[in-house]
Amino acid sequence: MMPIKIFKIGSQVFFSRFPEYKQKDDDELYIMDSLMADVLNARFDGKDIFMYRNKPKEWFISDCLESGVPMRAGKFLIPDFLNYLGAGIEDILRLEPCFREIDEKHTYEKIIYSSYIQNGGFYLTPKQLLMAWEEYKRTRPEIYYYGEN
């Protein structure tokens, strides 16, 4: 059981370039050559690791849609992962129900998702990145507090 490919995932992919970004944890997605289950999650040495058996794009999309866990859609915002799958905009459009139901702490992902669709590609303009960053901070007032003391 060996990783074929490892992807950084989560907010760090988008916001680590901002000096005030405070990384809560380190999230990685592993595509494995073999695995006893299709999906395994582990926490190891401060990392949240999501291991997936190597499967085709259609499997990943169906898994996300059928899981009942909107948070699984976040990996579909990572350009390296999307390129690995050979996914296009038409594929992530199918995940709209997941992004619509995503929790409050991850509404920044809706901005990234909508931006990809608007752009017709898996990239963000500086303005879109800043919008997502502001939303990320807004939903974490315990970390990014800018009001009066």
In tens, the pLDDT along 2-15 reads: 999 999 999 999 99
Residue 100 belongs to a domain: yes
Can you give the residue range of the structural domain that contains 46?
3-138
Number of domains in the chain: 1
Q: Could you tell me which residues are beta bridge partners of residue 40?
A: 51
Residue 54 belongs to a domain: yes
Q: Are 81 and 50 in contact (CB under 8 A)?
A: no
Residue 149 belongs to a domain: no
Residue 144 belongs to a domain: no
pLDDT over 80 (residue 145): no
Residue 78 belongs to a domain: yes
- In angstroms, the CA 149 to CA 92 distance is 42
- In angstroms, the CA 72 to CA 50 distance is 10
pLDDT per residue as tens digits for the range 70-107: 999 999 999 999 999 999 999 999 999 999 999 999 99
Range 31-49 average pLDDT:
93
pLDDT per residue as tens digits for the range 117-138: 999 999 999 999 999 999 999 9
DSSP 8-state symbol, 101: T
Residue 112 belongs to a domain: yes
Whether this prediction's pTM lies above 0.85 is answered by yes
